[in-house]
Structure 1
């Protein structure tokens, strides 16, 4: 369901905010930390400090994303609402610790741990794609932490949609980058290898798509966007290049990431499912499960927006959140 071709947009590159950052900010060049899979990890985060006393907003990114994906949105919301806004790196993403476990229950436990650390008793939780599933899991299992919930272009339905994720992950794992070369050269080298390695799997992917009645081939523009988004995770330390995401954990838990925990609890709080009108991630087939788990849910769509609503239509996205906060 979280198809990689939809995980790309020109707005995903890191944006350095002009408003004040503190507390959880971490240098992007910091070495990756590892953590035990048996306990919550201490997530890295950025805080955009609003002057108001209202409940803070907490943003959770999607698969292969990072807290910087929402920096420009966070800045605008601070200015327009006065609220404090946090953007958070999920485990195995950004600068947060690496751990073998990557489940929605674990990521919800990480978020609870972070909110406890920051003495935040309640938040407005806003999650996109994978982050939306983490947000839903948190609301269903820890409802006292969530004053309001916004789920961005994803649903709690089980997914059977075929994706090419495994091919991209395999290509990233097989990639070899020379040491002590300029970052621009390393990016070109990485993109060339990614293009070649993924292309080698295209025929197999198309055969699978034919069996499932789907189109298996992305056009060149989509493929280029995929590569550019993945390359935002290429980092350099002491002349050596590596991926900041934990590819092994993502590969091992890919089926779980594409699915959703089977939960019988209900979240009664105000909930907004915000979909892109040009995206198929929230369909009418999902409505019964949404209403079962989130009986107060409102489902809205932003015109001419794809899976990356906040990048395609940032002003409409911000206006929808503000309207929801005021409702």
Structure 2
């Protein structure tokens, strides 16, 4: 699949993948800082952002999407960074194509299985009647019945777009995500390991990377470094962008 992406900056290539319900735009402020040293590829994963929709949605095909993008851009190897679902994608990619990954950064996700925990969000998104809502405010009001946190609603509604007729549409493939949400929590299952430097960057207030995850991290990524960003939860790049930028710069140097 030909993914939509934004390219900016100059220097060695750094590819960034967003998380579930997100898009490349989620990392734009981070990219504005990092583009001074690197050529950034901000990627919309399949069924998200401006990339194509597909009924097939799992880490095998998402890793192949990334491989196709690198081939199209004539990238023999690159630095890879992924958040949450994007972190699982780059982990899978690094284990399948280790020679194509110079260094790996995984933001607030571990190699293990995660139980489905997005029910209220999915219920809220599917409850919005796009044929009836006349404004984003109306969509937000409907979503608030299921998702009380204003910041999370603001993030989710970035995926609300309009078609050529001016009607509201979801840029995410909501039906496929809803039907196949279990796929996003899949654990890594490989016999090999990725030997190049790998940074696991967790939010100090998040529970996505726990002490029990160290065994899996060491197994698949033995040359790893685990740090936690202070005063940050799962969306650490939005909550503490400068700390994330500084950490990424230090690691890639």
TM exceeds 0.5? yes
1:156 matched to 2:105: no
Q: Report matched runs for 1:203-214 at 5 Å.
A: none
- Corresponding position: 1:239 with 2:199: no
State whether structure 2 residue 154 is matched by structure 1 residue 194: no
For residue 166 of structure 1, report the CA deviation from its aligned partner.
Answer: 2.8
Partner Cα distance (2:15, 2:233) in 1: 22
CA distance in 1, matches of 2:65, 2:52: 11
1:115 and 2:75 aligned:
no
RMSD: 1.6
State whether residues 82 and 88 of structure 2, in contact with CA within 8 Å, keep that contact through their aligned partners in structure 1. yes
Question: Could you tell me which residue of structure 2 aligns to residue 295 of structure 1?
Answer: 222
Q: Which has the higher strand share?
A: 2
Number of residues of Structure 1 aligned to a counterpart in Structure 2: 252
Q: How much does 1:95 deviate?
A: 0.4
Larger Rg: 1
Match of 2:99 among 128, 144, 154: 144
Q: Does 1:224 align with 2:150?
A: yes
1:64 aligns with 2:37: no
TM (norm. structure 1) is 0.74
Report runs of 4+ in structure 1 exceeding 3 Å deviation: none
Aligned counterparts of 2:131 and 2:60: Cα–Cα separation in 1: 38
Give yes or no for contact 1:178–1:186 (8 Å, CA) kept in 2: no
Question: Equivalents in 1 of 2:141, 2:252: separation in Å?
Answer: 45
2:208 matches 1:284: no
Quote the Cα distance in structure 2 between the aligned partners of 1:306 and 1:192. 25
310-319 or 129-138: bigger deviation = 310-319
Aligned partner of 1:48 in structure 2 is: 8
1:177, 1:186 within 8 Å by CA — same for their partners in 2?
A: no
Structure 2 segments unaligned to the other structure (5+ residues): none
Q: Distance in 1 between matches of 2:211 and 2:127?
A: 39
